[in-house]
Structure 1
Amino acid sequence: MSVPPIIVYPPDEDGGRRVRADGTILGRAYSVRDVAALLQMAGLQGWDEMDVVRTDLIEWRGGGPEVWTI
């Protein structure tokens, strides 16, 4: 299974970050756990928080997985 390009956008004023995979917005995440849940719903079964933090397949814009506020 190939993994689609994944982008996590910078946090907004509420601390949410849009998550996009293969050109489709999956939703807003408020934590690494939320990113993992969105990716699982998009078909990346088995992905957990450590996968999200460690993978090079996610492009983090506006800060890495530890940044959730402006």
Structure 2
Amino acid sequence: MAAAPIVVHRPSPSGGRRVTAYGKILGLAFDDHDLVEFLRRAGLPETENLIDDPQMVEWRGVRAHQWDAA
């Protein structure tokens, strides 16, 4: 199975998670709204449903939709 093209990295110590798509940094997201907006700006369609698709998005470090450091 190929790696997901979008990666939501582990939370930073100060909160937020770096988001990359196809190897390019999109920004530091602090919630699902930020993530959806980054993906929309990157031209990805139907981003609200996309963030829960494991073939498209890999959540690293902690569970999906957790935005603060554990």
TM-score interval (norm. to shorter): 0.7 to 0.9
Deviations 1:20-62 (A, max 9, x none): 00010000000111111000000013322x431x211111101
Report if the CA contact (8 A) 1:8-1:59 is conserved. yes
Which consecutive unaligned segments of at least 5 residues does structure 2 have?
A: none
TM-score, scaled relative to structure 1:
0.80
Please name the residue that 1:31 is paired with: 31
Report the identity percentage. 38
**Count of aligned residue pairs for this structure pair:** 65
TM-score, scaled relative to structure 2:
0.80
Structure number with the higher strand fraction is: 2
Which consecutive unaligned segments of at least 5 residues does structure 1 have?
A: none
Report if the CA contact (8 A) 2:9-2:17 is conserved. yes
RMSD of aligned Cα (Å)? 1.5
